A = this chain, B = another copy of it.
């Protein structure tokens, strides 16, 4: 099993009600990759600048993540600066410096082209399709996006959505993409665009997964403190696809269990800045929290 993620590697400066960090490791490919590395072999396609600290590369390598497709280009690494108020569902961007990420072209090394699972993190939908052209026969493609592409690249995004197996987006994005205020109706509309399943992340309110004849609703893990929500969606994706990669078939049962593993990884991720919490986890921590999800939602 091999999972390819194409997305960003970034240096994040983040302020939340619980603290502040300058230029810590971030980016969609990082959060996804570290979360998925608990389950499977992971390959990253992304770009960093000459200033990218080698210790971050060491950390990713220590998680067994394949970095052959991580391009190093002249210039500075992508930087994002933002803050969260007490409503930790909304990120407020203070500054975005795309730097080397501006001209990122996902050219996959030959060794990545047999990847079985693909996560198209939040990048230009045209680039997302360029990735798909290079992967020979993926078993499952998961796709993320964001408000910017919904607003400015709608037609291209719709083409990409039509080619993926599972669409992953948050509640505001689902509403924006479809014009439907009700999430169930929004989810149904997205299914008509092509994917077999749509997963709608609701932050502290949990997650929904809709299929043509199925509906799964999972509450979020009850955290007393959310330190930093940055990367929650991508670590969800990593746990989800990581879990799914262990199965031969992707029926409702496997998909649901994987949604829970996604929620497990997201819940750990937000307990610290950057990947600090994910980096210190054991596989037993992951399984323990999966069982806690079961305990807290079960009724007879």
Contact = CB atoms under 8 A, between A and B. Distances in A.
Given A296-B217, A300-B257, A185 B224 contact: yes
B223 A184 contact: yes
A53 interface: no
Contacts of A297: 216-218, 297
B219 A260 contact: no
B222 A299 contact: no
Given A181-B86, A260-B299, A299-B260, A222 B216 contact: no
Contacts of A182: 224-225
Contacts of A183: 222
Given A208-B222, A222-B208, A296 B184 contact: no
Interface in A184-228: 184-185, 202, 205-206, 208, 215-219, 222-225
26 contacts: A86-B181, A182-B225, A183-B222, A184-B222, A185-B224, A202-B205, A205-B205, A208-B222, A215-B296, A216-B296, A216-B297, A216-B299, A217-B219, A217-B222, A217-B296, A217-B297, A218-B219, A218-B297, A218-B299, A256-B298, A256-B299, A256-B300, A257-B299, A257-B300, A260-B299, A294-B299
